[in-house]
Structure 1
């Protein structure tokens, strides 16, 4: 649902100050063309300290984390300060619902609401935790998933949930999702479980296909899907580059979760050629650009550990630019705390149509400047040579 920003922020303010019902909230991302927020990400949650209930604001920028506790009676001003900053995404979890607010380029607010799911558990005052995927779901038992895997599953679905309506509201009675390089398929199962419920609410069926080159992985996935009782979840042996999970039909959702090195690029290239409306990729092992940086003696990449970390950032920045050039609205976000996995970045891309000529030219200029400065050519550009050339021609 799209509404005006003032109304949406007033609603979020009310939810944040309703501390008996608030579980947590997160402000992240930034709105283009405005002063960047003071912190990359702020998490808000109610806590009880010795002198009474407080709202706790935890701000994170890179490795720097700061915490501020404000008495509930004085929290209005702190909440107003937070909402006055140019965050692009607001996520609020309460005892009854999960609210996602995304602020568009035009300054409107796209609001998605979903009912909360509850799990009794430990914590301050035994507050119920909201879960989009039931922690007692038989999927976890079948997969033998422990606490860390369950947290990754929940975090992943929370990234998927606010973007799914754009896919689920389309025409037709079937939604198609594919996980390219699915591996052990924890997140394939989770995505299918959540999406199938959301699709049923709209009178649609969901078919999800996990694709992997290993026959033993595919066989295990098929057995687990049958044991967990997940109709519509299928697995196929095949490469990412050659995947055609639905024949001539286009996938609505393309996932590539911890596909190593250029396997992520293969999945993104496949998604672009399909024109997939929604793409979720959690990259892993950015060795392609890292190898290209090896001869560069700049201080930033002279040492191996710095070169590895910078290659991660540079690769995903270039992937983001290329996807934008080729018609996607892109966000690169942290989908789970690094304590659970160091590979915690996610590329979220929604098909928006090719940008106008001047916008394309600006994105290409940024891309060219980065590749020229560091002497690299990302794998995704090599895989989409024809599409990139066409975009350059259109930008002239």
Structure 2
């Protein structure tokens, strides 16, 4: 049986007015729709009922609360803009599918579903408070009973935020068949290693993966302390090494590298080492990006002193611009090397100003896309008017990739040539 738009709207109106509406998820947008997904749910603010509309566009989420009348005014446009809708109510779930002929429905009865009207509901962390977790207790984040200490709650939030990125990255790697059930991971500049221990616990004890994890740092006392904790926790495939990123040769290849708050060019060397080791995922949270800022002051061609002189005329603005410009260059450089990149907020600015995370997953771009990316990269370098260290580091990587590509073409040519010779010989023998 086919339904029209008014039938679908009546389902919403009836469930909302009878206080049975829990949520709705709109997905599979039409071609004209700028939003990837939209969620609806009821919220109570200062005793008044609203419908919150959460819209997803360009990897960003936008929230707005509407009165019931305002929401009903928007519902028709939203409903017509998506091919798939899941409506959850206290007594049933309704799957709505839209095609050129109209709408079709599938209804399923449910029992015991409750409406959550809290506007600020408790955060559902990957690692839960009030649940004893040995490594968090050992690191002083939790008490023996599993209660997160007040002084370390920001660290607890940071760890969970980090694991959210790890979870998303793991899912993407598995969906692209870049990994199976084992991983080799390196944490460059691991420091006190809160996140390294969290990573190991999550992948080994929660996700049950076969993993090897190495934390690398320059401070010998920190390395000794972290190895001692790893042994006490019986994290057998986690070890910490003292050494420089540039000299790391413990693994021949890796699946993922992570670099948290590596100062200035240490992030660039982490990226370079990840590329050299064939990393399938690179996660970096840069720190103290001062190189480009210093080089801008000495450049006679930079547009920061030209078109963007309102930035260049003020030291603090130029410094902040340079930090963003540096991270943009890093993301662009990884794209030039065949990665798909995203730049995201790692944790709220109120907890640390160093809150930009660069996430790069190995892709399979076409030659045409790489050519366009090279043109974009060259324009950007010319605009900055500086010669960044990362640009020099990448030249070797890109040169080696080109050599390898040429060698593969030569091998393919000889293979085809030899195959033709064999075919001709077989013909002669016949």
Fold equivalence (TM over 0.5): yes
Closer, same or farther: CA 37–314 of 1 in aligned 2, 3 Å: farther
Closer, same or farther: CA 37–167 of 1 in aligned 2, 3 Å: closer
Q: Distance in 1 between matches of 2:33 and 2:344?
A: 19
Q: Which residue pairs with 2:390 in the alignment?
A: 380
- Pick the aligned partner of 1:240 from 237, 242, 245: 245
Closer, same or farther: CA 318–339 of 1 in aligned 2, 3 Å: same
Structure 2 residue 159 is the aligned partner of structure 1 residue 165: no
Structure 2 residue 210 is the aligned partner of structure 1 residue 197: no
Helix, strand or coil: the match of 1:162?
A: helix
Q: Which residue pairs with 2:187 in the alignment?
A: 179
Closer, same or farther: CA 79–216 of 1 in aligned 2, 3 Å: farther
- Pick the aligned partner of 2:358 from 342, 347, 367: 347
- Which stretch shifts more, 223-232 or 319-328? 223-232
Q: Which residue pairs with 1:89 in the alignment?
A: none
Structure 2 residue 296 is the aligned partner of structure 1 residue 288: no
Q: Which residue pairs with 1:332 in the alignment?
A: 343
Deviation at residue 82 of structure 1 after TM alignment: 11
Q: What is the correspondence of 1:187-266 to structure 2 with a 5 Å cutoff?
A: 187-197=195-205, 199-200=207-208, 204-246=209-251, 248=252, 250-266=253-269
- Pick the aligned partner of 2:277 from 274, 278, 283: 274
8 Å CA contact 2:52–2:65 kept in 1: the answer is yes
Q: Which has the higher contact order (CA 8 A, sep 6+)?
A: 1
Structure 2 residue 310 is the aligned partner of structure 1 residue 306: no
Structure 2 residue 50 is the aligned partner of structure 1 residue 54: yes
Q: Which residue pairs with 2:128 in the alignment?
A: 134
User: Is the radius of gyration larger for structure 1 or structure 2?
Assistant: 2
8 Å CA contact 2:188–2:258 kept in 1: the answer is yes
Count of aligned positions: 325
Closer, same or farther: CA 139–198 of 1 in aligned 2, 3 Å: closer
Q: Distance in 2 between matches of 1:67 and 1:167?
A: 30
Unaligned runs of 5+ residues in structure 1 are 1-12, 28-32, 86-122
Q: Distance in 2 between matches of 1:173 and 1:73?
A: 51
- Which stretch shifts more, 66-75 or 330-339? 66-75
Calculate the aligned-residue CA RMSD, in Å. Answer: 4.1
8 Å CA contact 2:33–2:81 kept in 1: the answer is no
Deviation at residue 310 of structure 1 after TM alignment: 0.7
Deviation at residue 282 of structure 1 after TM alignment: 0.8
Deviation at residue 48 of structure 1 after TM alignment: 2.1
Superposed CA deviations along residues 212-268 of structure 1, whole A, max 9, x for unmatched, are 11111111211232344433221111111111233x3x1111101111111111110
Deviation at residue 54 of structure 1 after TM alignment: 3.2
Closer, same or farther: CA 75–265 of 1 in aligned 2, 3 Å: farther
Unaligned runs of 5+ residues in structure 2 are 1-11, 83-116, 142-151, 299-303, 407-430
Q: TM-score, normalised by structure 1?
A: 0.70
Superposed CA deviations along residues 54-91 of structure 1, whole A, max 9, x for unmatched, are 34468999xxx996322478657479759969xxxxxx
Deviation at residue 279 of structure 1 after TM alignment: 1.1
Q: Which residue pairs with 1:92 in the alignment?
A: none
8 Å CA contact 1:331–1:348 kept in 2: the answer is yes
Superposed CA deviations along residues 9-51 of structure 1, whole A, max 9, x for unmatched, are xxxx9xxx997589xx9x9xxxxx999879xxx9988642134
Q: Which residue pairs with 2:101 in the alignment?
A: none
Closer, same or farther: CA 44–173 of 1 in aligned 2, 3 Å: same
Closer, same or farther: CA 310–68 of 1 in aligned 2, 3 Å: same
Superposed CA deviations along residues 292-333 of structure 1, whole A, max 9, x for unmatched, are 122453222221211111111111111111111111111111
Q: Distance in 2 between matches of 1:320 and 1:79?
A: 40
Helix, strand or coil: the match of 2:126?
A: coil
Helix, strand or coil: the match of 1:194?
A: helix
Q: Distance in 1 between matches of 2:41 and 2:216?
A: 39
Q: TM-score, normalised by structure 2?
A: 0.65
